[in-house]
């Protein structure tokens, strides 16, 4: 069994990876329904994140920096920023958010081809 700190760090890496990858695939011009979906996703992510101490800490950050869901770039920049807020509080290096563009690749480039049959 992993030690507590190791398990918490692995969960964190997996969670950040999923969150940033979702942002990288969010539409440039989302519909109202898509904006509402992302807003709800972030709200529930914050509420249900399994590390209680982390969730409580993150809730305070998200209250201070409300989710941006108006476009892909706004959403990606928001997630990068709040992750940096966590990085600072854990005394980690700050990530350069201008590099976020191609960093998160879901490997889904074939999706459109697949949809076309």
Residue 6 C-beta: closest distance to ligand FAD, Å: 10
Which one among 21, 25, 57, 71 touches ligand FAD, defined by CB under 6 A?
57
Provide the terminal-to-terminal Cα distance of the chain, rounded to the nearest Å: 44
Q: Quick check: 13 binds ligand FAD (CB under 6 A)?
A: yes
Q: Quick check: 58 binds ligand FAD (CB under 6 A)?
A: yes
Which one among 37, 54, 74, 77 touches ligand FAD, defined by CB under 6 A?
54
Q: Give the interface segment with ligand FAD, choosing from 24-32, 52-60, 64-72, 105-113 (CB under 6 A).
A: 52-60
Q: Quick check: 18 binds ligand FAD (CB under 6 A)?
A: no
* 105 three-class SS: coil
31-62 core/surface letters (b: 16 or more CB in 10 A; e: else): eeeebeebeeebeebbeebeeeebeeebeebb
- The beta-carbon contacts of 58-63 under 8 Å, at least 24 apart in sequence, are 58/82, 58/86, 61/85, 61/86
> 3-state DSSP: the chain helix, strand, coil percent, rounded to 5?
65, 0, 35
> Contacts with ligand FAD in 80-109 (CB under 6 A)?
80, 83-84, 86-87, 90, 92, 95, 100
Residues engaged in binding ligand FAD (CB under 6 A) = 8-9, 12-13, 15-16, 20, 49, 53-54, 57-58, 80, 83-84, 86-87, 90, 92, 95, 100
């Amino acid at each position: 069994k992993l030690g507590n700190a190791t398990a918490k760090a692995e969960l964190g890496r997996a969670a950040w990876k999923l969150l940033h990858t979702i942002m990288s695939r969010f539409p440039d011009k989302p519909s109202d329904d898509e904006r509402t979906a992302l807003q709800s996703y972030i709200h529930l992510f914050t509420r249900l994140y399994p590390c209680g101490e982390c969730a409580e800490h993150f809730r305070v950050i998200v209250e201070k920096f409300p989710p941006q869901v108006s476009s892909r770039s706004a959403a990606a920049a928001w997630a990068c920023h709040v992750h940096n807020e966590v990085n600072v509080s854990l005394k980690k290096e700050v990530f350069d958010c201008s590099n976020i563009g191609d960093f998160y690749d879901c490997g889904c480039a074939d999706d459109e081809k697949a949809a076309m049959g």
